Amino acid sequence: DIEHEATIESLVKGKGFEECVAVISGESANVVVKSDTLLPNEVSQIQEIVYEVAGIQPVNLKIIEK
* pLDDT mean values, one per 10 residues, the chain (66 residues): 97 96 97 96 98 98 97
In this prediction, residue 4 carries a pLDDT of 98
Report the predicted TM-score, pTM, of the whole model to 2 decimal places: 0.95
Alpha-carbon gap, residue 43 to 50, rounded angstroms? 11
In this prediction, residue 2 carries a pLDDT of 96
Alpha-carbon gap, residue 66 to 59, rounded angstroms? 21
In this prediction, residue 59 carries a pLDDT of 98
Q: Find the angle CA(17)-CA(35)-CA(18) to the nearest 5 degrees.
A: 25
Q: What is the dihedral angle through the alpha carbons of 51, 54, 64, 25, rounded to the nearest 10 degrees? A: 140
In this prediction, residue 27 carries a pLDDT of 96
